[in-house]
Amino acid sequence: MKISNISDLDKMAREGEERLYNTHAQLIFGLGTCGIAAGGLPLKEFAENYIDEENIKADIISVGCIGMCHAEPLVDVKLPGKPRVTYSEVDLEKLKRIIDQHLIGGTPILDMALCQLTKEMSECEYGIIDEPEPYDGILTYGELPFFSKQQRIVLRNCGIVNPEEITEYVARGGYMSAFKALHDVARGGIIDEMKISGIRGRGGAGFPTGLKWDFCSRAPGDVKYMICNADEGDPGAYMDRAVLEGDPHSVIEGMVIGAYAMGASEGYIYIRAEYPLAIERLEKAIEQAERFGILGERIFGVDFSFRIHIREGAGVFVCGEETALIHSIEGKRGEPRPRPPFPAASGLWGRPTNINNVETWANVAMIIQRGGKWFSSMGTMKSPGTKVFSLVGKIERAGLVEVPMGIPMKDIIYEIGGGVPDGRNFKAVQTGGPSGGCIPAEHLDIGVDYENLKTLGSIVGSGGMVVLDEDTCMVDVARYFLTFTSEESCGKCTPCRVGTRRMLEILDKICNGHGEMSDLDILKSLSVQIRDSSLCALGGTAPNPVMTTMKYFMNEYLEHIQQKKCFPSVCAAMFKSPCQNTCPAETNVPGYIQLINEGRYVEAYEVNRENNPFPSICGRVCEHPCEPRCQRGQLDEAIAIRELKRFCSDEAMKANQPAKITTLDKVDKTVAIVGGGPSGLSAAYFLARLGYSPTVFESAPKAGGWLRYGIPKYRQPHDVLDKEIEDIINLGVELKTGIAIGRDVPFSKLKDEYDAVYLAVGAQLDKKLGLEGEDLPGVLPGLQVLRDINSDKPVAMGEKTLIIGGGNVAIDVARTAIRMGTEVTLCYRREEQDMPAYDEEIQHCKEEGVVYHFLVSPEKLIIENGKAVGAVFRKNVMGDFTKWGRRKPEPTDETIEVRADSIVVAIGQNLDGEFAKDFELKLLSESNLIIADDGLVTGDPKIFAGGDAVLGPASVIEAIGHGRKAARSIDMMLSGEDRLAELEKQNFKDYGMEEPKNEEILMRQSSKELDAQDRTCGFEEVVMCLDEECAKKEAFRCLRCDLSANTGGDE
């Protein structure tokens, strides 16, 4: 049947509507390539057999991708007159339940259902979804965060209609625009409408489409061609594929309208051969369109004919460039040529040709249907309309999203995408594929449109958005994209052919740890030259990934070149194992785990001591940055590295042998260390081993600093600390306690008497709330409380304690207060998952009976009789996301009042600025921290600084790492060589170097803990050591990344 009048088309629409909404029960499978890859096909087969066997009256339908690729396979159930309900991540078992309970039984499974489709969610105006009564207890599509900010024009039918059924497309208003255009609109009128819409090419460059059409239609010549560019080659971009698989008719309709407007009779769709499903569906769609007279001779009975041919490309990236694409269709080698002449004047076989991207063509029908003005009302002034992005990478909800242009980047990443998974931090988003760039967190506020991204050095491109988290090495990202472009360079012009290869060689050199500073200059100038002098856009944009990473992540390049360090543990040539690379003290983790595995526990302890004088302490309180990086975590669970450290330390304590520590010969040089905390003592430890005579000045009566006066005893008993400090003293360290530099000994004296000074004074000043009455009795600073309790001074907490803050100090005070028998309430301004304290501590705290109030900010203190007796808090709600991915707490009208006998303020610490002034050092203006370079050298070359005084409140292991680094820098200054590395090599242990055979799933062993009731009656240690059997089991799990090249990185 050929359609020649509107009633034919209407009839088709009725038929489609019948299929879409009014038939019997439907079971709908999302079978785009993503659905198939996730295992959708076996599900469909199962359903077909099951329905056959059980004789159920239901249709099984496959549709394209609706965009929620993270939730595939998707199965929807639509009962007549009821909303369509979507089930996500369906497996055979779930599918059987869905069929039994929902399809046959008629009741949706509330706990499994993801959402329901109750009303039209796209900009489609025809054949819209009838609005049935929603089911109770299931979210609607609009309520899902993934869809709430989307505006769907291009994806209007994707996942809704059966792509292989033309009537369903017609029912959704399809081919109405083409009919209207061919019958009622003058050719110029169509182009005018496109111009009014302001739509810009969605393939990447963003050239105004209306203008392009105008050029082509004005070009002289009888024969003209339409081309649809479906050669989607960017890594991480797949929106064209989704449109062609989910709604091929929308592209065909766009091309018919374009062909009519510009006077073409032949069209080509150039599509990658790697998209077999899209090709198959496209072929079916073309065949159907021809059957109904929508393609072919006398379309819609009008004197106009148009045919579409499919050309498969061999997957060459450069063939996405229009002149190369034309060459490829002509059967020539896919190489670009200089423009002008532009294809609009001389394109395919020398004839005027118009090339648009799939997404641009898919927009055309809607623009004609609803008018250019409607289209230009969306998006921004310069970039109207919507854009489909494929959101992939380290993102919670990966998928295809269509959003209005100008939407802030952070909305796409956090609200739609749900942010970065696994508690990792966001680092950058890569847009535009190999031609684009990386945008860092500080620019996430920008609205996404052509101009803004260009200012940042990136491009919109075809719309790929790859989210990168903290585990990504930006130098490696640049290298990855340059590998791609240098391989895909067609080799025609010199800058792109040779230049990209030279750049890649330099990046390889940097990633292999051989980079030099001059390489950065060469990279910079080569980037500019290649950008400006290449023949086509491939070369012209190839340096973008390098340029943007150098612009925003120069620090990572410098780390690779100067420190030969790849902190995210990606560039495998620079480190042995990710755990060792991540440890601030660079502990040989695989080494000591292997020794535990071999039953050599004391030696394991010695390996620990080589880099860290406090293994017993770190075995208990280390924040273990190594564990999240453990490669075993990708297989089953990370190794319990900290528990193993604790185990070998406890074994060594039991063995009670004098620890073997290598030392170098005595040197006649002295070093003063200010501060006897972990950082100062570590520096003393390493300096003493290097032969120096360090003197540690500590103002408190005993050494240990934060380890003694900060960490409560139930986490870390003091006898362990005393033992490890004693070992340090025995190396020949002089310890002077009770002496405050500046008060008892002037700083200038240190400078004169010692060859070097290391400042490890910590950050000991409690931050203040800034409220009236903070100095009155009843208000206690958090650190002060911990200090007093740990030095066994009486602290009056009263019966009720209120703690303000959510960090480690707040939690430590809370747990201590509980042990002193008071009722504890903890108030924090954000939500639980935002608390900066360690998760396990928060959990312990809860078990022990601390009451939490989240989302409250202190507003004023309640003062009675000259004493603070409570505080008034303003309730917050979580507001917009900040660009760092945390929601901002926004105050509400509500307040609450909490009364207490004592109020502990633990909202952070600062360095005592007054104290640091004596040193005449430069301080950071806001936080009063000392400024020191990578080698911890301050402005004065004799004075070094590290630990909290430089970092702000940091972890124990960071402080120890700084102590080690300072010792190394001091040694390098005094002796002129790097002797620490030499020293550490001396204590070589011969342990097993065979590849372990442990790739089966083995779950992590965990330590036993005291019951909550037993804990709170005293200060007994809560977490117990692993027993020997568990420890050996755990040690056996180590994959030994140090042995081979399987050190993670880019798989």
Partner 1 sequence: MPSSSFKIIITIDGKEIACKPNQTVLDVAIKNNIDIPTLCYNPLFSEHRIGACRMCLVEIMAGGRPGLEPSCTLPVSSGLSVSTTSEAVYQARRTVVELLLSEHVQDCRNCMKSGDCSFAELCRDYDINGVSVCAECPNQEEGCLLSRNVLCLGPITYAGCNAYCTRKGYRCEGCHTVMANEDILRFGLKAYKDQGFSKDEILEAAKVFSFDSVIKLEKLMIEEGFV
Q: Residues 936, 944: contact at Cβ < 8 Å?
A: yes
Q: Residues 457, 551: contact at Cβ < 8 Å?
A: yes
What distance in Å separates the CA atoms of residue 218 and residue 191, rounded to the nearest whole number? 11
Q: Residues 811, 842: contact at Cβ < 8 Å?
A: yes
Residues 56, 498, 729, 923: which binds partner 1 (CB under 8 A)? Answer: 498
CB of 511 to partner 1, least distance (A): 20
| 327 part of the interface to partner 1, by CB under 8 A | no
Residues 108, 203, 463, 499: which binds partner 1 (CB under 8 A)? Answer: 499
Site string for partner 1, 305-324 (x = CB under 8 A): --------------------
What distance in Å separates the CA atoms of residue 227 and residue 229, rounded to the nearest whole number? 6
**Binders of partner 1 in range 500-529 (CB under 8 A):** 502, 525-526, 529
CB of 532 or CB of 772, closer to partner 1: 532
In this structure, what are the phi and psi dihedrals at residue 487, rounded to the nearest 5 degrees? Answer: -75, -35
CB of 484 to partner 1, least distance (A): 19
CB of 474 to partner 1, least distance (A): 25
Render 993-1051 in DSSP notation, one character per residue. Answer: -SPP---S--PPP---B--HHHHHTS----BPPPPHHHHHHHHHT---TTTSS---S--
CB of 494 to partner 1, least distance (A): 5
CA 475 to chain centre: 17
**Binders of partner 1 in range 845-864 (CB under 8 A):** none
Contact region for partner 1 (CB under 8 A) — 387-395, 531-539, 558-566, 649-657? 531-539
CB of 107 or CB of 525, closer to partner 1: 525
Residues 6+ apart with CB under 8 A from 981: none
CB of 224 or CB of 600, closer to partner 1: 224
What distance in Å separates the CA atoms of residue 267 and residue 113, rounded to the nearest whole number? 43
CB of 337 to partner 1, least distance (A): 7
Site string for partner 1, 458-497 (x = CB under 8 A): ----------------------------------xxxx--
Which residue in 292, 213, 298 sits closest to 259, CA to CA? 213
Cis check for the bond before 341: say yes or no (omega within 30 of 0).
yes
Q: What residue type is 411 in one-letter code?
A: D
Q: What helix, strand, coil percent values describe the chain, rounded to 5?
A: 40, 15, 40
CB of 222 to partner 1, least distance (A): 16
| 821 part of the interface to partner 1, by CB under 8 A | no
CB of 497 to partner 1, least distance (A): 8
CB of 298 or CB of 337, closer to partner 1: 337
In this structure, what are the phi and psi dihedrals at residue 619, rounded to the nearest 5 degrees? Answer: -60, -15
What distance in Å separates the CA atoms of residue 710 and residue 786, rounded to the nearest whole number? 6
CB of 494 or CB of 843, closer to partner 1: 494
CB of 341 to partner 1, least distance (A): 8
Strand partners, 765: 910
CB of 425 or CB of 529, closer to partner 1: 529
Q: What residue type is 892 in one-letter code?
A: T
CB of 521 or CB of 839, closer to partner 1: 521
Residues 6+ apart with CB under 8 A from 1035: 593, 594, 596, 597, 644
CB of 755 to partner 1, least distance (A): 36
What distance in Å separates the CA atoms of residue 960 and residue 690, rounded to the nearest whole number? 16
What distance in Å separates the CA atoms of residue 718 and residue 740, rounded to the nearest whole number? 23
Q: What residue type is 603 in one-letter code?
A: E
What distance in Å separates the CA atoms of residue 301 and residue 3, rounded to the nearest whole number? 7
Residue 97: Cβ within 10 Å count: 15
CB of 105 or CB of 338, closer to partner 1: 338
Instruction: Give the tokens for residue 266.
Output: 């032949």
CB of 495 to partner 1, least distance (A): 6
**Binders of partner 1 in range 267-286 (CB under 8 A):** none
CB of 436 or CB of 499, closer to partner 1: 499
CB of 498 or CB of 731, closer to partner 1: 498
CB of 419 to partner 1, least distance (A): 40
Count of residues binding partner 1 (CB under 8 A)?
18
Residues 532, 839, 999, 1014: which binds partner 1 (CB under 8 A)? Answer: 532
CB of 345 or CB of 640, closer to partner 1: 345
CB of 491 to partner 1, least distance (A): 9
CB of 365 or CB of 535, closer to partner 1: 535
CB of 138 or CB of 526, closer to partner 1: 526
CB of 526 or CB of 957, closer to partner 1: 526
Contact region for partner 1 (CB under 8 A) — 129-137, 530-538, 636-644, 965-973? 530-538
* Three-state secondary structure readout of 642-663: HHHHHHHHHHHHHHCCCCCCCC
CB of 203 to partner 1, least distance (A): 19
CB of 200 or CB of 629, closer to partner 1: 200
CB of 268 to partner 1, least distance (A): 24
In this structure, what are the phi and psi dihedrals at residue 520, rounded to the nearest 5 degrees? Answer: -65, -40
Which residue in 120, 158, 171 sits closest to 30, CA to CA? 158
CB of 195 to partner 1, least distance (A): 21
Q: Residues 2, 292: contact at Cβ < 8 Å?
A: yes
Instruction: Give the tokens for residue 196.
Output: 């009014």
**Binders of partner 1 in range 330-349 (CB under 8 A):** 337-338, 340
Q: Which residue has the tokens 């040779």?
A: 498
Strand partners, 466: 392, 430
| 534 part of the interface to partner 1, by CB under 8 A | yes
Local structure of 165: helix, strand or coil: coil
Q: What residue type is 384 in one-letter code?
A: P
Residues in contact with partner 1 by the rule CB under 8 A: 337-338, 340, 492-495, 498-499, 502, 525-526, 529-530, 532-535
